[in-house]
Amino acid sequence: MKYLPLLLPLFFLFACTDSGSDAQITGEWQGVSWIVNGETSDRDASQVTFSFEPTGTYSGAFGTQEEAGTYRVEGNKLYTHAEEQAEKMVEVALSGTDTLRMQMNRAGTPETLVLVRQ
């Protein structure tokens, strides 16, 4: 729960395999793997979900903690602006059409969150 605000800024530090577009990430996503500093972490990736709508809005959750707002994709960067928060940016990487990889850096510690399209 307390990781969602930390996760979203990290989500914005990823690299895309294709030139990014809003349409590529539109849909429902669920976490399947969370790697911290190259090793499997004890964080439950299955509790992470994102929904990106074609209208440019998104919602995200980590357990019972939720966030919603607007998003845009520019190249390999995903920008989100949650209600009553500052805009955040991460780089995103798509593998095919159904796997989204988020390679994050939280206070100098590399993290990778892998999500699959639902």
Residue 13 or 11, more confident: 11
Contacts of 82 (CB under 8 A, 6+ apart): 8, 67, 68, 69, 88
DSSP string, 58-72: EEEEETTEEEEEEEE
Residue 9 or 84, more confident: 84
* Cβ(5)–Cβ(106) below 8 Å: no
| 6 confidence band (pLDDT: 50, 70, 90) | low
Q: What does the pLDDT average to over 12-23?
A: 49
Number of other residues whose CB lies within 10 A of the CB of residue 68? 13
Each residue's pLDDT tens digit, 23-40: 889 999 999 999 999 999
Each residue's pLDDT tens digit, 58-73: 999 998 999 999 999 9
Each residue's pLDDT tens digit, 83-95: 899 998 778 999 8
How far is CA 98 from each of CA 5, 37, 58, 81, rounded to the nearest angstrom? Answer: 24, 24, 18, 24
pLDDT beyond 90 at 102: no
How far is CA 21 from each of CA 5, 85, 93, rounded to the nearest angstrom? Answer: 23, 23, 11
| 104 confidence band (pLDDT: 50, 70, 90) | confident
Facing residues of 52 across strands? 27, 58
Q: What is the pLDDT of residue 57?
A: 97
pTM of the model: 0.78
